[in-house]
Amino acid sequence: MDYKKLFDLTGKVCIVTGGTGYLGSANAQILKDFGATVVVADIRPEENRWAEAEKFEPDMKVVCDVSSAESMRNCFQEVYNKFGSVDVLVNCATYGGAHGEKSQLEKMDDETWALGIDGALSSVFRGIREVIPFMKEKGGSIINYCSMYGLVSPDLRVYGEGNPQRSPANYGAGKAGVDQLTRYAAGDLARYGIRVNSVTPGPFPNPANSGDQEFVGKLANKTMLGRVGKNHEMAGAVLLLASDASSFMTGTNIVVDGGWTAW
Ligand SMILES: NC(=O)c1ccc[n+]([C@@H]2O[C@H](COP(=O)([O-])OP(=O)(O)OC[C@H]3O[C@@H](n4cnc5c(N)ncnc54)[C@H](O)[C@@H]3O)[C@@H](O)[C@H]2O)c1
């Protein structure tokens, strides 16, 4: 057995939704570094917001709005037409988490609730459903982004009143749904050779929004390792699930949280 080859993605076409974001951009880069043909699919695919991303050129950038089934379908079709297959889909994009007053349970209206569930959960459902026709002949790997807040509740003492980064209930409930949807889809799609797994990030505050060092320190204190994560630290789990190194893994969830949910 050539163990290095297990991680080799040469010939695989990988799509990363939310691929210009903080975590998505690191995912796209590692997949490319291991030989994949990489497609960055984002509502803003042209943006390079990360220093490292400036050095990185994906094989294709495509506008993909994960709030629209049609947009996702068109994106997958475009990729299929250009490269002849879709082997890996990373459902990383998310939107709609409530901020400010509406993030509080008692003040969240139905519309706000529904948008957050759509952004966290329904977008992933759409991605899975729409990619099936492109993957079912050859098989493939679908990787869904959950969150530690799909596993445990945020400790609201960390956020305090009025913190705009306070994590709302619809986000966590939606992400918990992704965890279960992953297991369901894995069971349903195994017959096509499609593996479905999820990854669960812990605290990876985006450096562009983490000027509040006191808040970042509070997040760091909640982890066993005593620090927050950096985006490249999410990438290894995605590489594993995208590659043949995980050929016997499906329906599972890899938690990358510095130990946040383990105590
Ligand atoms: N950063 C963290 O601490 C953390 C923690 C837990 C889970 N997560 C999850 O990790 C994933 C990535 O998070 P991130 O920190 O990189 O976020 P980010 O905000 O940096 O990136 C999100 C990306 O999604 C894109 N996007 C937004 N709406 C879209 C739409 N309708 N269609 C297509 N693309 C759209 C944005 O343009 C952006 O590039 C998300 O699913 C998030 O819930 C992140």
Residue 35 pLDDT: 98
Strands 13-17, 194-201: pairing kind: unpaired
The C-alpha atoms of residue 236 and residue 42 are separated, in whole angstroms, by 21
The C-alpha atoms of residue 91 and residue 100 are separated, in whole angstroms, by 26
Residue 51 pLDDT: 61
Contact 67, 94 (CB under 8 A): no
**Type of residue numbered 34:** F
Mean pLDDT for 248-252 is 98
- Pull the structure tokens for residue 165: 């980064």
Q: Name the residue range of residue 71's domain.
A: 3-257
pLDDT at 58 over 80: yes
CA of 145 to the centre of ligand 1 (A): 9
Q: What CATH number is associated with residue 54?
A: 3.40.50.720
**Lowest pLDDT segment from 40-49, 146-155, 212-221, 239-248:** 40-49
For the chain, the three-class secondary structure string (H helix, E strand, C coil) is CCHHHHHCCCCCEEEEECCCCHHHHHHHHHHHHCCCEEEEEECCCCCCCCCHHHHCCCCEEEECCCCCHHHHHHHHHHHHHHHCCCCEEEECCCCCCCCHHHHCHHHCCHHHHHHHHHHHHHHHHHHHHHHHHHHCCCCEEEEEECCHHHCCCCCHHHHCCCCCCCCCHHHHHHHHHHHHHHHHHHHHHHHHCEEEEEEEECCCCCHHHCCCHHHHHHHHHCCCCCCCCCCHHHHHHHHHHHCHHHCCCCCCEEEECCCHHHC
Does ligand 1 have an atom closer than 6 angstroms to the CB of 242? no
Residue 7 pLDDT: 98
Residue found by looking up tokens 């329904």 in the block: 122
pLDDT at 78 over 80: yes
pLDDT at 164 over 70: no
Say if pTM beats, i.e. exceeds, 0.95: yes
Q: For 173-218, what is each residue's pLDDT tens digit?
A: 999 999 999 999 999 999 999 999 999 999 999 888 777 898 899 9
**Which of 46, 58, 74, 69 has the alpha carbon at shortest distance from 14?**
58
Residue 175 pLDDT: 98
Does ligand 1 have an atom closer than 6 angstroms to the CB of 95? yes
Which position among 159, 171, 184, 192 bears the catalytic label?
171
Does ligand 1 have an atom closer than 6 angstroms to the CB of 260? no
Cα three-residue angle 42-48-52, rounded to 5 degrees: 120
263 falls within a domain: no
CA of 168 to the centre of ligand 1 (A): 15
133 falls within a domain: yes
Give φ, ψ of 83 to 5 degrees. Answer: -115, -10
171 falls within a domain: yes
> Measured in whole angstroms, how far is the alpha carbon of residue 125 from the centre of its chain?
13
The C-alpha atoms of residue 149 and residue 99 are separated, in whole angstroms, by 16
Nearest-CA residue for ligand 1 atom 42 is 94
Number of domains in the chain: 1
State percent of the chain over pLDDT 70: 96
155 falls within a domain: yes
55 falls within a domain: yes
Task: Confirm whether 22 is a catalytic residue.
Answer: no
Tell me the pLDDT band of 237, cut-offs 50, 70 and 90: very high
Mean of the per-residue pLDDT values of the chain: 94
Residue 199 pLDDT: 99
Mean pLDDT for 39-66 is 87
The C-alpha atoms of residue 182 and residue 137 are separated, in whole angstroms, by 20
